[in-house]
Amino acid sequence: MQALADGNRRTVLEILRERPATAGELAGALPIARPGVSRHLRVLREAGLVEVEQDAQRRIYRLRPEPLVEVDEWLETYRAHWEHRLDALHTEITRGKKARR
């Protein structure tokens, strides 16, 4: 969860969800210097969220979706709670609109 808390790391994961990328490609998409990108990649790698493959002089990073499935399963109970509350809010808003007519 701590690895997901940073917005730059979430951006990296969004990019890697679409396609594998090098650190240089990721650095071009983020508003931080390349050493910062490397630190974020290390955190994501240590958390098991990305994997790296050496291709000659390049390192290619790929998303590992399995840990995110675990997070999604954990969040499911909270999601159900909020969906119920949002449905109730929608009902109250609809009632209020009908009462004004």
The pLDDT score that the predictor gives to residue 25 is: 93
CB 49 within 8 A of CB 3: yes
- For the cut 90, the answer to whether the pLDDT of residue 98 exceeds it is no
The pLDDT score that the predictor gives to residue 56 is: 87
The pLDDT score that the predictor gives to residue 90 is: 87
- Give the tens place of pLDDT for each residue, 25-78: 999 999 998 899 999 999 999 999 999 998 888 999 999 999 888 888 888 888
The pLDDT score that the predictor gives to residue 97 is: 80
Residue 86 confidence class, pLDDT cut points 50, 70, 90 = confident
End-to-end CA distance of the chain: 47
Q: Cβ neighbours of residue 68 under 8 Å, at least 6 residues apart?
A: 13, 49
The pLDDT score that the predictor gives to residue 83 is: 85
What are the start-end ranges of the E strands in 1-101? 21-22, 50-55, 58-63
**Span 7-14, average pLDDT:** 94
**How many C-beta neighbours within 10 Å does residue 42 have?**
12
Q: Cβ neighbours of residue 49 under 8 Å, at least 6 residues apart?
A: 3, 4, 13, 63, 64, 67, 68
CA 23/CA 12 separation, integer angstroms? 10
φ/ψ (deg, to 5) at 64: -110, 100
The pLDDT score that the predictor gives to residue 74 is: 85
